[in-house]
Chains A and B, each alone.
Chain A
């Protein structure tokens, strides 16, 4: 079972004063909730609370690392079962204490860190429980769609939103309010992500409440298997990445390029993609396309000898098509498309097809800028001399709306840390 659940990491000492104050506030609020919650818990069901306590603590103690790079934990699903059956008060107390034990086990006993994270977990779960009941949740109603499926979705959504908000506030105290922008976009994505992940909670709740409580133990069967598969996937992914990386490095060295060019293009392209808030699949495609964008050049030689050589230019024009045809053997069509169109221009005067503006895939528009920057900095074909960072940025800015997409240029400027100048300049240049 996998549901994303961000846990804020310990900060290096000294902890900023604002963060200290925030943590004290968070823990105090949780303490007050705790004070009132204790009386509202149906303590007669304590054996089941013990079971949930063990399960949730285990889930926090042995987190599953997803091969997609997300840090996930099945704990929220278990907590949703808890709140839907026993109410928000029980959910708050059992989840937060179990989270404290689990986190202390997996990350070490750092009192303020463990307690503040546990408080955060408890609040998410309590909010979810309240939402479940407000949305009319009833485990034994006769309309499962309206009384079960919908309330659980709302509960999961509220849990996720609360969690994003609390995590955002935590990081805002640590790194400044700019972080909240990211939080906002994460919260916008919450409805969809909840939709994808709430069926787990529904199925588990139904199995638990309507079939048999012992079925919750299925979780103990699944957790170790998921952990093993995931860790193997991660190891293999690393091995594959390493192979591609070193072959590309060898490729670069053998080309009239400089070693590291492809890696640089890949990194810059993903940085721009991150600025544009693209999803992980798209970022992966950008990285692969960046690494592979020049494989078509491998058969070409002497590009650096004479830039005015007509034949060199002819070969150069053929290379994006050649790279794409080489890459077309991959099972990823998006990577192929990015490579194929990365020499198109925004105004339609590029090659190989002369597509313009939105006809060109977004990934290709991103790769175009990343490649232009890296090529200019290194002075590789078709540029003749290496230029400084400032000059390269200026050249790209001048081509806004001509060679490059204005939106992507803005993201590029933000990615290379020139954000402040971008707003004024890009406004002046009207897109072609």
Chain B
């Protein structure tokens, strides 16, 4: 268990990035009047639109696109002005127009992806109007750009999603690095093609590279889509009880946060998130009248209710993707002192994931309105959790949640 000593400026990250996007947009606006009015400029803008659409979800961390590839090419061509305009247009058009993201997310993304370009443009050797053919190749600018992008994504994962730096470097960082390597090599290849063969073949090469890279995108999309379906099914189960419409999703969120706070590796965090999302899936078979019943259940009803734990786990166990989460789900009503069900495990015998879900589950249940009482404030709920720490709940987990809430 580690103590987090620095208070992370989580809530300031997106606004800060959105503010830097103002700089990017200003630079773009300044560049537009001097932009060469050639088909080539138009071609790069169109290509940038496609590259921005080509989006990979690298979880955790920001989504990333193929835009860096074209930015690298344009930097090598000494045309950072075209890059800044194309990137601004593409980000605004594709993110708000096609993906329908809210404006502030779009601006934050523009800031995060465009600000490194602004800084790279200040590098000696990359000037606004590259009339001199003797100027050195702007390799330094490319290096600085890619490095800043990498740094930005790492910072976002650490600051916004609270991934420990070590855990981030262990797995997710390599994925980002691989993607940026593809973008860098592709960008250099496009530059070579452009030098020797002109814009038509550059566009075709860009298309071929994206086609070759497409299976990776399919893989990422499939993952996102399937997790979406699991979430949808979890929400459907939550519909049985209108008072907890977002319960499963909330528990998944809290659990992932707690798991990260406890310094667990990312694949473990994923497993816990999945288990938390599907922890109530066994309630599919429990009658809604029991679930919705205000007040105490009679013994028979309680047995039915308690059986849902095993039902959930049995449902998940044989499945490839979520089978690993079954063990966590099966133990998510075990208490720390051994008074829980179904097996009466205690302390360290209970998987850590299950201890986390129990706390997250209780916290969300207490803070949302129920038929028989109103939801409590987070602070009151935490007090209740602390009162039961060591008996029902694992004190370490409660403390982690405490830190998250107090931030």
Contacts and interface: CB of A to CB of B under 8 A. Distances in A.
Interface string A303-340: 00000000000000000001000110111100000000
B211 A2 contact: yes
B281 interface: yes
Contacts, number: 139
14 contacts: A1-B212, A2-B212, A144-B197, A199-B211, A202-B201, A233-B219, A233-B222, A240-B321, A243-B319, A243-B320, A247-B230, A250-B281, A299-B242, A299-B288
Interface stretch (B116-124, B202-210, B257-265): B202-210
Interface centre among A66, A229, A238 (most CB of B within 10 A): A229
Contacts of B224: 331
A145 B223 CA distance: 40
A296 B236 contact: yes
A326 B238 CA distance: 10
Contacts of B241: 299
Q: How would you classify the secondary structure of chain A's contact residues: helix, strand, loop or mixed?
A: helix
A15 B395 CA distance: 73
A331 B228 contact: yes
B240 interface: yes
Interface of B: 193, 196-198, 200-201, 204-205, 207-208, 211-212, 215-216, 218-219, 221-226, 228-233, 235-237, 239-242, 281, 284-285, 287-289, 315, 318-322
Given A247-B230, A292-B229, 8 more contacts: A203-B205, A210-B196, A211-B196, A237-B222, A238-B320, A246-B318, A298-B284, A331-B228
A237 B232 CA distance: 18
B84 to A, nearest CB: 27
Contact of A253 (B193, B211, B285): B285
A403 B229 CA distance: 29
Contact of A226 (B215, B219, B228, B289): B215
A68 interface: yes
Given A1-B212, A239-B320, A331-B221, A206 B197 contact: yes
A248 B229 CA distance: 10
A332 B200 CA distance: 33
Given A240-B321, A299-B242, A330 B229 contact: yes
* Interface size band for A: 35 or more
Contacts of A230: 215
A211 B319 CA distance: 51
A330 B321 contact: no
A57 B225 CA distance: 37
Nearest to B278: A247
Contacts of B222: 67, 233, 236-237, 240
A200 interface: yes
Nearest 10 A-B pairs (CB), nearest first?
A240-B226, A299-B239, A239-B320, A330-B228, A199-B204, A295-B236, A254-B284, A239-B321, A298-B236, A229-B215
Given A242-B321, A299-B240, A299-B242, A67 B215 contact: yes
Contacts of B226: 240, 243-244
Contact of A144 (B200, B215, B219): B200
Contacts of B232: 292, 295, 326-327, 329-330
A200 B236 contact: no
